[in-house]
A and B are shown apart, each in its own frame.
Chain A
Amino acid sequence: MTGTFALLRLVLRRDRVIMPIWIIGLTLAPVAYLSSIKAAYPDAAARQHYYDINVGSATFAVRNGPLYGSSRGELLAWQCGFVPVVVALIALLTVVRHTRTEEEAGRRELTGATVVGRYAGLAAALLAACGAVTAYGLLVALGLSAQGLPIGGSLALGAEFCVTGWVFAGVGAIAAQLTWGAGGARGIAIGVLALAFLLRAAGDSGSGWMAWLSPIGWAHRVRPFAGEQWWIVVLSLGVNVLFGALAAVLSTRRDLGAALLPARLGRATAPASLRSPLGLAWRLQRGTLLMWTIGVALVGLIMGGVARNIGEMARDNKAIADAVIRMGGGGAVMDAYLASVMTLFGFAVSGYAIQATLKMRAEEAAGRAEPVLATAVGRIGWAACHLLFGLLGPAVVLAAAGLTTGLAHGGSTGLVPAALAQLPAVWIVAALAVALTGLLPRLTSGAWGILGVFLLLSLVGTALQWNTAVLGISPFAHLARMPGEPFSIGSFA
């Protein structure tokens, strides 16, 4: 472990901009929620009413997790139900970035040859990620108690956010030992996160025990302001240490730069398909496209299945029906639910669109565009081949999402157009990513920030009933809410 401290300083130095940004930015969310809850539901009766209409809703349970009570703190914790997912994502990306990415780039070799212990790199990455997550949790607790919430509950909500951060930092550390490339490690860790989300969503909207299989479910069961379960926080810390140790053991079972999953020899000559820039783009992009298509198809099956339950529940409970209709806008409860599922797909697939589009920038930054452009391939043609995946790829993925949701819901393919109705907004996000690639190539990751803002406007802004001019910044606000509403091009004018 010698040298861990020095490497930790290196990690913190490299992340000196991004780390404070996410910590402070993500602290603003619960603090802003709290002020809006205070303003929108000033007394206990208003809060009770809000609680009554939301408590049984499977849709909201999928998004936010369980709602425990009608106090300010409980409503706040419920509205922040998606935060543990975001923290988990940041934690795992941080760990992979400072372990496998370093190793893949050959920088680990540079530091590893100095007076640095075998586990120092892994330990430094874990310490940095967990330290940042913990700092974030404390900052949240501080901000909320300063606004008058009970100190115990505030601390518990901060701890709830840390639970997933700690666990998924460990998941990232393990994933980093499994594959050769950082991309593969990220894919595995994010896949585990997606599985955790699905288990939690299925558990919270149906049988409760499935949520216990998911660290995100654990986070919600810390129950801030509702009889805090501190042992879960201790459990997640234990899991963090366990995963970290497991990653350390795995790292000694392999060589520097190598992976546990073995690399095989490939073909000595190129197949006939690899003869054009399009063939190359297909080869580079097909894996991502395939993973996304399978991923959303699975999510679609679950979301479609949940929709059946909702129909039954809504018949029994008028409050739920009202709430869903208010959220959705279109006529029937079912349509409103399905439309909100399609919006979620729209956001998720925008992530894919950004990923596919920025592949172009990644190729350029890594120096792999140069030899291609030095052949008889024009820069426009080269870019167009990658952009094809940024434009048509999302259509394929969305169609898969609509197909499986529809099949699981009612055995029909009728939801494909509703899913494809998300395309205009997805394309706008992709177009913004292209514009960044052209204008500010060093800031292309800003495309993710823009998508984050759109998501915030949709999740937070709509719930808090912000000014429509502000909400209208997001292209997702202009989409037809299908099914239920007819598709119209006009709303984009």
Chain B
Amino acid sequence: MIAEAIHAEGLTKAFGRTRALDGLDLAVRTGEVHGFLGPNGAGKTTTIRILLGLMRADGGKATLLGGNPWEDATALHRRLAYVPGDVTLWPNLTGGEVIDLLGRLRGGLNPKRRAELVERFELDPRKKGRAYSKGNRQKVALVAALASDVELLILDEPTSGLDPLMEEVFRQVVAEERQRGDRTVLLSSHILSEVEALCDRVTIIRAGRTVESGSLEDLRHLGRITIDASLLRVPSDLAALPGVHDLSVYGSHVHLSADQSELDGVMRRLAEAGLRNLVSRPPTLEELFLRHYQHEEPVGAAR
């Protein structure tokens, strides 16, 4: 088994004058659920299309399941299943027909699993494509992908349009896939709670470039720890302390975030000031995410 199901280095892609990808790196280990995060237009869908061989990169190198996504597209596609972000169905085909068709085109699907998924997602497979709502179209694509026995699942914002109950079903199903250990999932999303719940590692991209990549643990180390403390007396030089950010003081109560590298110094200073109460919290993914997008000017972000 290859160590990395997906490996991309320095991918570039321009549409006319807009640079959709600008040196993007992505590494997904075999058997993991990998979160692929970025705001709208960051280049997630473009990257996925390149990995699927539906688009050719202008530059850089991509390997998918050990093969070249453009050259070996059809052979590789037997080993993966894909759920597009915006699912459109054939208006005159029923959902059940689409599930079977896509499964067969991929080389077969597991009928038992298909029936189980149709039931769990509460999908009526007899309706025609045009009669489904957005969430139901999404379910059709999800069942078609998840019912296939493939090595790699590429899911592009798969829960958009699903109601919270169905989102929960989706999480359970992906969690089961993860426990099997032989399936790799690339999950593009901007629902951070979903990524936090499901993913082993994440890659955050912005304006066509990878800005952060690693396990959630690793990323948390890069982020800031949020501290709420009640002090006997508030030191006046707190704001000037290295590594202290977003300081606000309400009477004897302080709220701040601190760089993890400077945590030791900050905590000493707080302890000196007479701690009465302390709550500290590791950075959430949302904070990591927002930090990357709010503190920098956008550079030619485009889809």
Contact = CB atoms under 8 A, between A and B. Distances in A.
Interface stretch (B7-15, B75-83, B223-231, B236-244): B75-83
Contact of A375 (B106, B127, B141): B106
Interface in B102-146: 102, 104-107, 125-128, 130-131, 141, 144
B106 A270 contact: no
Nearest to B114: A269
Interface centre among B78, B106, B144, B154 (most CB of A within 10 A): B106
A146 interface: no
A13 B75 CA distance: 46
Contacts of B105: 275-277, 280, 372, 375-377
B89 interface: yes
Contacts of B107: 375-376
A181 B128 CA distance: 12
A266 interface: yes
Contacts of B94: 265-268
Interface in B149-201: 154
Given A269-B96, A368-B88, A376 B106 contact: yes
A436 B101 CA distance: 29
Given A104-B130, A268-B126, A275-B101, A374 B88 contact: no
B90 A267 contact: no
A293 to B, nearest CB: 19
A379 B98 CA distance: 19
Nearest to B154: A374
Main secondary structure of the interface of A (DSSP, over half): loop
A266 B73 contact: no
B91 interface: yes
A374 B130 contact: no
Nearest to B111: A269
Contact of B102 (A284, A366, A375): A375
A368 B90 contact: yes
Would you list the 10 A-B pairs with minimal beta carbon distance, nearest first?
A270-B100, A266-B94, A375-B105, A374-B82, A270-B97, A268-B96, A265-B126, A375-B106, A275-B104, A376-B78
20 contacts: A181-B130, A265-B127, A266-B96, A266-B128, A268-B96, A268-B126, A270-B98, A275-B104, A275-B105, A276-B104, A366-B88, A368-B89, A371-B144, A373-B73, A374-B52, A374-B80, A376-B75, A376-B105, A376-B107, A378-B73
Given A268-B125, A270-B100, A373-B54, 12 more contacts: A265-B94, A266-B93, A267-B94, A270-B101, A277-B105, A283-B93, A367-B87, A370-B54, A371-B82, A371-B84, A373-B52, A375-B77
